[in-house]
Amino acid sequence: MPQFDFRNWIKDQSGEYQLDASDPDHLKLNTEYAAAEINFYELENEPEIAEFRIYNHKDDEVKFFLHFQTDEEAHAKSLFAEMTEVLVSLKEQQSTQILLCCSAGLTTSFFAEKLNETAKTMDLDYVFSAKDVNSVYTEGFHYDAVLVAPQVGFLLKRISSVLQDQLVMQIPTQIFGSYNAGACVEMVKNALQERKKSVEEKALEHISHDISNDKTLLIIAVMPDVNGSWIRYRLYDHGRNCLDEEVIKKTITLHDITDIIDTRRCSCNGKMDIDAIGIAIPGMIIQGRLEILGSIRRMSELDLQNGEGDGFHILDYFKQRYKIPVFINNNVNAAAIGYYGQQDHYKNIIFHSQPVGYKSGGQGIVINGNLVEGAHQSAGELRFVINHLEEVKQIANVVRTPDEMVKIVAAGIAVGCVSCDPELVCVRSCMTPDMDEIRNELKKYMPESHMPELVHITNIDEYVLLGEMILSLQSMAGKH
């Protein structure tokens, strides 16, 4: 029985799309509102693999993704039908859906009508709907934005905490009271445009007066954890993320980093298509030499010293190997700069990173917009003091419970607070996500009126990558 020819079968199909078959290994189904990619991969002695991926032009998000072997004809055809059904259905999702909510939904229904009329005259594809506030927690997920009426403004924080992927705003009293539809639509338009910007774009806007962002940088972040380590890397072209990959394996060594760079070089026919390399790693980097001491040393899964021990000149190693500028920074320092760079509210922050199971955390410190590293690059190295603090002396080096970790994190934050009195502390600690618990523990060290704001961070890698890009650009411009 002849093998099913899935590629040619697809070419014979038709639908509400334009087929681009110029590359037989990478077919495309194009519409005005979305695009589907069908990629084929051959494996030795195995059936061919097909990959389906749909991008929505509205927000550039992936709406459909899967891969499968193409040897079963009925299965392959059914998956193609499912994929094209999703592709066509995205046409109905192109309008920006905005929900207005108040105590009963009656007053907002009238305002929603005016907003729809105004949006139409402004040639904006916005659709405004109105519902009572109690339904927002279940139905708000289906909207791009949620507008909260002034009379239920006290619920704004709660609604925002539930609808974390939506834009949530309170309608100003003056706008709502006068039914100023034009001002409200303009407010929503500006907020949606600002939200659509990536954190990289926002950060580069803040620092553009200091450094040039016309470079292509390969940024690599290495992060340890109790269950192993991982590497995430990005290619930034003029500040825009154009490649995002990850390496996850039990043991991370220096050669895993060189494999990433060498693979990039091979994909460019042996030539580097980047201006510089930025690497964020654990430990202190003192004049290009790497020192990893204390609790990290117990983690055999992480070895970045090429077998040479503390003091390995990691910077020279990479510069001599690749002959282009290389910048190496502490990963938590990079995270601090990354968080600082994408916001414009705080001038003084601490980024506290506490990997799962670790007693010794690390802190990146930014004061008046400048990274503080100290004379020996040891600013924020809590391992020098944590075991001398009375509250945590009796806790083992491997932290087992959240209650123990709360004590450790709070003690570390207290040390940072008395040294630089930050406005905000970012807390990366999977074992202690409740900031109220940490705040209560901090009361042992300082009055509540002197405590900084605390924000829990779950995606430290985003800030490490962004911060390392900023630090690398600053170094190239002689600013760091």
Q: Is pLDDT at 274 greater than 60 in this prediction?
A: yes
Of all helices (H) and strands (E), which one includes residue 145?
strand 145-148
In a domain, 133, yes or no: yes
Confidence at residue 67, expressed as pLDDT on a 0 to 100 scale? 83
Quick one: tokens of 72? 């079963």
R_g of the chain computed on alpha carbons = 26
**Residue 355 CA to its chain's centroid (Å):** 18
Distance between CA atoms of residues 228 and 211, nearest Å: 36
Task: State whether 108 and 75 are in the same domain.
Answer: no
Of all helices (H) and strands (E), which one includes residue 67?
strand 62-69
Of 272, 198, 211, 207, nearest to 240 by C-alpha is 198
Q: Which of 196, 224, 251 is where one domain is finished?
A: 196
- Is the whole model's pTM more than 0.85, yes or no? no
Q: Is pLDDT at 294 greater than 50 in this prediction?
A: no
In a domain, 1, yes or no: no
Choice among 26-30, 96-100, 182-186, 234-238 with the minimum mean pLDDT:
234-238
Distance between CA atoms of residues 399 and 359, nearest Å: 6
Q: Which of 91, 122, 141 is where one domain is finished?
A: 91
Quick one: tokens of 301? 């899964």
CATH number at residue 154: 3.40.50.2300
In terms of residue numbers, what domain contains 36? 6-91
Give 23-59 pLDDT, tens digit per residue.
999 999 999 888 999 999 887 777 888 899 998 887 6
- DSSP sequence for 7-21: HHHHHT---SSEEE-
Task: State whether 263 and 410 are in the same domain.
Answer: yes
Total domains in the fold of the chain: 3
3-state secondary structure 171-209: CCHHHHHCCCHHHHHHHHHHHHHHHHCCHHHHHHHHHCC
Give 166-185 pLDDT, tens digit per residue.
899 999 999 998 889 999 99
Helix (H, G, I), strand (E, B) or coil at 139: helix
Measured CA to CA in angstroms, residue 36 lies from 42, 61, 93, 247, 368 at distances of 20, 12, 16, 27, 47
Task: State whether 206 and 171 are in the same domain.
Answer: no
